[in-house]
Amino acid sequence: MESAYHARNSGGKFCLIYNFHPSKSVYLLAITSCHTPMDFAEIILKNRSYRRFYEEQSIPEQTIRELVNYARLSASSGNIQGLKFYLSTETAKNKLIFSSVRWAYYLKDWDGPTEGERPSAYIILLGDTEIHKTIDVDVGVAAQSILLGAVSMGYGGCMIGSLDRVSLRKKLEIPDRFEIPLVIALGKPKEKIVIEEIGEEGNIEYWRDEHQVHHVPKRNLEELIIHLF
């Protein structure tokens, strides 16, 4: 006899495990604790550009591979699929990558996270020029998929496009056939980020207050919509 199993969230504290029998009988098999998954809006709101992390909290290699798989399964312009990925969870490699990235353009008096607050892992997006010369659209799609996946798992990250690409290529021995459009820093976030509406002066620069809370101005929705049905 065939049966199907189903877990239903019950108020965020317990999951009720059911057995659905072909005869349409329903049996309660077990009650177990479970984690309430975030809804999509919550994931979007929590997906900020985190630049400080609990560095000692490592990210398993399998988790990094799963994030890349989200990118693999995402849309690709013309279905070209010209992206490749360099993964690093090792301390020595992470230090090499860290030394080739530049952090937080608008925070002029900040040189980036100090030791203990640096990323636990990196994913370097590479464009394989032997497949296609242009991968700009795919880079954004893949990076967003990776970061949304990271947030859903309790992690966070930051897209970094300000790089010393010559140094990074040399340190990691990345072949010339690969462009280096973007680095994604990943880890367990250690900072609070607040979204604010842009003021009348129109300043879009993010900033930190005296409590190290990171403030990010966003344009309001009505300003963005230029035509309503």
By DSSP bridging, strand 83-88 and strand 121-128 are antiparallel
Give tens-digit pLDDT for 169-198.
Answer: 999 999 999 999 999 999 999 999 999 999
Amino acid identity for residue 33 in this structure: S
CA pair distance 160, 187, nearest whole angstrom: 14
pLDDT at 164: 98
Closest CA to 126 of 181, 80, 79: 181
Cα dihedral 202→215→57→180 (10° resolution): 10
String of b and e for 34-55 (b: at least 16 CB within 10 Å)?
beeeeeeeebeebbbbbbbbeb
Cβ atoms 83, 142 nearer than 8 A:
yes
- Give, for 61, the enclosing helix (H) or strand (E): helix 61-73
Give, as one character, the DSSP assignment of residue 99. Answer: T
For residue range 63-116, list pLDDT tens digits in order: 999 999 999 999 999 999 999 999 999 999 999 999 999 999 999 999 999 999
Domains in the chain and their CATH numbers? Answer: 4-33 (no CATH), 40-187 (3.40.109.10), 193-224 (2.20.180.10)
Q: According to the model, what pLDDT value does residue 3 have?
A: 39
The number of C-alpha atoms within 13 Å of 119 and in the hemisphere containing its C-beta is 33
The residues that bridge with 126 in the sheet, in sequence order, are: 84
Tell me the pTM.
0.83
State the amino acid at position 175 in one-letter form. P
